Amino acid sequence: MSRVNGTSKIQCICGDSTEVISALSFSFSPNTIDFSTVFSQFDINSQGAVLGTLLAIYLLFTLLGVWAHYMDRASMMNWGVFPLMDNYADDDYYYLLTVHTGLRKAAGTTSKVGFCIAGSLEETGVRVLSDGVREGFPTGSVAHLVMAAPGYLGELETLRIWHDSSGKGDNASWYLDRVDVMDLQKGHLYHFLCEEWLTPEEAVDRIVQPSDPADLESLRSAFFTNTKQKVTEDHIWLSVFLRPERSRFSRVERVGCCVCFLALAMITSAMFYQGGEGADRKQPAADLEMGPIKLSLQQVYYSVVSAVIASIPLVLIIYLFRKSRIRTEPGRYWCCGKHHSRGAEERKNSAQIWDDWEEELREYGIGEGEKSQGIFGRKR
């Protein structure tokens, strides 16, 4: 190759006609849009298919947004902390139970679940793992329940948990991932790692001991935990339907991000579309072949550049949604659609913590009157 004298052109001189010389250029210039004529040149006959496709897409996502808004409001019931239905009103030692149901096919259950926690000093006896409001444990759910006990149970040693297989169909079985138990007075946290099916065919009860940090960091446990996190929270499309219960990034916002990404993808594809009069519409020589799929390196390059251009604004939008918080006044916090008061310092003792939960429970409409009348438990 050599430059032609006095010009900016490059000429290629082949010394042997039998040699095969190929070249590939990645230089390109995006198509431009003349906004002064773009609407005046619109023709419904030639561009009706494009307009119909866009209207269908926006209609579909509008309906999906309405459904997402309904699901966001309905799922608020699963975000809160509820007392167990068999708590006694005069029990004043509290444990927070966090029940993680696995993210597997038909992992949830509507069967009645019971449990018993044994400590070094006392045990709870047979308890019902239900608040009397929510039904069962759906697939991938995380339920927070407050258990009241007569006193300190000591260091927790075993958890026995079972169900009666009263659910219908696939809901008769349950895949329990783990149960976290926090002593709210002392701040101790115990992880009971189950990761087993509770089925009538095998066993409907399990006896689990607290796991040490090494068990929680094992490859199997870390794999399923990270997979659940990535699918329910980080995957922008699947998380619309499998959104985690506690997340500031709502389903409606996720639907909006999906629409944004789809629109950006269409725009960037149009930027590099080689159309118009005189354009070569023949399939370029394939550099990559995977069965019926044939791609040239230039097509791959255009695809990568388009994906990068479309992803940058989408990543920024998602970041803003994840970091956004509802504006509150100093000394106040947001819960259940309303503002609530809180002291300047974080409340540490059990009575103050319970006061916060009592207010949250009232917002969910669980009982009226005074605690002594049995709102948070039965009378002995």
Candidate from 62-76, 128-142, 143-157, 263-277 with smallest mean pLDDT: 263-277
pLDDT at 352: 42
End-to-end CA distance of the chain: 97
Q: Which residue has the higher pLDDT, 60 or 355?
A: 60
pTM for the whole structure: 0.63
Whether the CB-CB separation of 265 and 310 falls below 8 Å is answered with yes
Category of 132 on φ-ψ map: left (φ > 0), alpha (ψ -120 to 50) or beta: left
Candidate from 136-145, 200-209, 354-363 with smallest mean pLDDT: 354-363
CA-to-CA dists, residue 210 to 129, 159, 183, 193, angstroms: 18, 8, 14, 7
Q: Which residues of 165-203 are buried (b: 16+ CB within 10 A; e: fewer)?
A: bebeeebbbbbbbbbbbbbbeeeeebbbbbbebbeeeee
pLDDT at 369: 31
pLDDT at 43: 78
Q: Which residue has the higher pLDDT, 158 or 24?
A: 158
* pLDDT, average across residues 329-344: 40
Residue listed under structure tokens 């430059």: 3
Q: State the Cα–Cα distance between residues 236 and 251, nearest whole angstrom.
A: 10
Domain ranges of the chain: 2-17+22-73+250-274+284-323, 81-235
Mean pLDDT (the chain, rounded): 76
* 367 has a pLDDT exceeding 50: no
* pLDDT, average across residues 315-327: 81
Helices marked H in the chain? 44-74, 213-216, 219-229, 251-271, 297-323, 350-363
What is the percent of the chain where pLDDT is above 90? 26
250-261 pLDDT per residue, tens: 889 999 999 999
Candidate from 2-6, 178-182, 333-337, 354-358 with smallest mean pLDDT: 333-337
Whether the CB-CB separation of 65 and 255 falls below 8 Å is answered with yes
Q: State the Cα–Cα distance between residues 327 and 334, nearest whole angstrom.
A: 8
Q: Which residue has the higher pLDDT, 102 or 275?
A: 102
Length of the chain: 380
- At residue 350 the predicted structure's pLDDT band, cuts being 50, 70 and 90, is very low
DSSP string, 123-149: B--SEE---SSS-SB-TT-EEEEEEEE
- At residue 248 the predicted structure's pLDDT band, cuts being 50, 70 and 90, is confident
pLDDT at 373: 34
Q: Which residue has the higher pLDDT, 177 or 377?
A: 177
What is the percent of the chain where pLDDT is above 70? 68
pLDDT at 35: 72
- At residue 117 the predicted structure's pLDDT band, cuts being 50, 70 and 90, is very high
- At residue 328 the predicted structure's pLDDT band, cuts being 50, 70 and 90, is very low
Most confident of 130-134, 296-300, 358-362: 130-134
17-62 pLDDT per residue, tens: 555 545 555 556 777 777 777 777 777 777 788 888 889 999 999 9
Domain 81-235 class in CATH? mainly beta
pLDDT at 279: 52
Candidate from 149-158, 220-229, 265-274, 355-364 with smallest mean pLDDT: 355-364
